[in-house]
Amino acid sequence: MNLLVKNIRIIDPLQNIDEVTNLYVSQKKIAAIGTPPPAKFNAETTIDGTGKLLFPGLVDLQARLAEPGSYYKGSIATETKAAVAGGITTICCPPDTNPVNDCQAVTELIKRRARQAATAFVLPIGAITQGLEGKLLANMVSLKKAGCIALSQANQPIQNSLILKNAMAYAACNNITVMLRCEDQQLKNDGVAHSGAVSSHLGLAEISSSAETVALARDLILVAETGVKAHFSLISTAKSVEMIGEAKKQGLPITCDVAIAQLHLTEYDVMEFNSLFNTTPPLRSKDDKEALRIGLKTGVIDAIVSDHTPLNRDDKLLPFGESKPGISSLETLLSLALKLVEEGVLDLLSAIQKLTQNPAKIIGINKGSLTIGNPADFCIYNPDHDWVLDRTKLVSAGDNSAFDGWQFTGKVEATYFQGRLVYGD
């Protein structure tokens, strides 16, 4: 099927495109961008994009799709629908499923379910250790062969430094990318909130910034020693930005991401003990939020992720410290990232770059850009559509958004996956 989207402002950071022009799709792939149509192109469908924007489909390095696991929190089918409603067409899902994605069978199950849903491209991330227990290595190469794009420990970082070093060395010689979240469990000490003004007031068990930075310091040293290709996930402190910036300057080939919520929320949002603001890592201080924003601007932080975690209501209907951490955030990733543009933190091209080109490059896939021959994954965005988020109306099976009642300017109007309309009308 041939599709023409005309007179639309196309943004493609990889090709440095920001202009009002036409997009041609043929055979599920990008055929051309420009004013004259490619040879022998007859559009069967034409969309007039006047006044709208067109972005490459977003690449999300971390979103939980609730499967395998409990069905009442959603499924790959429901969550990929939520993803495309937010303009995301490629999703990496962490291994903390139930059962854990530490063997080929689970990886294959995830891929099969994603193919059946046929709504977005799902790339599983396998576990580094069996059962994520941090003790015995998972069959890392088998996982890679089965289709895992990288390996990680999700939110259960390896505590034993020797095991971590061995895992990194083994991954390095097999050319496997590891995604590391840095958290020292002993320093975390069962804490539930950032150690700062709010935890001092509320008497919530504290997680100091050093719980992240002590682990990060260790991990940086081991990455340098083993030469593994490492990506740091969900950094949350000002000091982490500084340390990663310094390591990059010294030539360490590392990348990192930040969860979108950390760029908009702080410890003060916890003030009413609202469990919707319970996250891992915890919402940090205002200074941390500012440093993360600056880190994005300077390029220390490469990508923004949703860290989507759909939960059922009972998981949040508990006192703060007993509730499950996590935010349902596929549908707000793009809108919240573009709020950073409104607030002057990023220009439009860089914001889209952190959601498309950069994450695609980190995992080495030909997605996140409108290069000719790439799969036709893109979204059409109406910048004048004002809306208010009502968390009970989310597409995701998890209604645990922390942005209920927020006002947004601009909304995804349609999303195309492999040239096919998967969201919008």
Q: What is the C-alpha separation between 79 and 275, in angstroms, rounded?
A: 22
Query: Cα–Cα distances in Å, from 85 out to 78, 111, 396?
Result: 11, 20, 9
Q: What is the C-alpha separation between 47 and 334, in angstroms, rounded?
A: 22
* Binding residue for another protein, selected from 2, 89, 155, 199, defined by CB under 8 A: 199
Tell me how many helices (H) and strands (E) the chain has: 13, 18
User: Does position 136 bind another protein by CB under 8 A?
Assistant: no
Closer to another protein by Cβ: residue 112 or 201: 201
Closer to another protein by Cβ: residue 129 or 199: 199
Contact code string over 207-246 relative to another protein, x by CB under 8 A: -x--------------------------------------
* Binding residue for another protein, selected from 314, 342, 343, 390, defined by CB under 8 A: 314
- Smallest distance, another protein to C-beta of residue 193, A: 9
Size of the site for another protein (CB under 8 A): 26
In one-letter notation, the amino acid at residue 250 is Q
Closer to another protein by Cβ: residue 157 or 196: 196
Rounded to 10 degrees, the C-alpha dihedral 210/215/217/220 comes to: -150
Closer to another protein by Cβ: residue 198 or 379: 198
Which span (66-74, 194-202, 242-250, 291-299) binds another protein, by CB under 8 A? 194-202
- Contact indicator for 357, 366 with CB cutoff of 8 Å: no
From the list 12, 102, 307, 377, the catalytic residue is 307
Catalytic annotation present for 257: no
* Helices 333-342 + 348-355 axis angle, to 10: 150
Give, as ranges, the residues between 263 and 292 that touch another protein (CB under 8 A). 268, 271-273, 275
- Smallest distance, another protein to C-beta of residue 216, A: 20
- Smallest distance, another protein to C-beta of residue 206, A: 6
* Local structure of 231: helix, strand or coil: strand
* Binding residue for another protein, selected from 12, 183, 206, 288, defined by CB under 8 A: 206
Q: What is the C-alpha separation between 78 and 69, in angstroms, rounded?
A: 13
Geometric angle at alpha carbon 162, from 104 and 148, rounded to 5° = 20
Give, as ranges, the residues between 321 and 350 that touch another protein (CB under 8 A). 321-322
Q: What is the C-alpha separation between 260 and 251, in angstroms, rounded?
A: 27
Which span (92-100, 131-139, 162-170, 199-207) binds another protein, by CB under 8 A? 199-207
Residue with tokens 């003004």: 197
Query: For strand 177-180 and strand 150-152, is the pairing parallel, antiparallel, or unpaired?
Result: parallel
In one-letter notation, the amino acid at residue 390 is D
- Contact indicator for 391, 302 with CB cutoff of 8 Å: no
- Smallest distance, another protein to C-beta of residue 9, A: 38
10 Å CB burial of residue 162 (0-12, 13-18, 19+) is exposed
* Binding residue for another protein, selected from 112, 115, 135, 201, defined by CB under 8 A: 201
User: Does position 72 bind another protein by CB under 8 A?
Assistant: no
* Binding residue for another protein, selected from 202, 217, 224, 365, defined by CB under 8 A: 202
Which span (119-127, 171-179, 189-197, 334-342) binds another protein, by CB under 8 A? 189-197
Residues of this chain that bind another protein (CB under 8 A): 189, 195-206, 208, 268, 271-273, 275, 314, 317-322
Catalytic residue IDs: 307
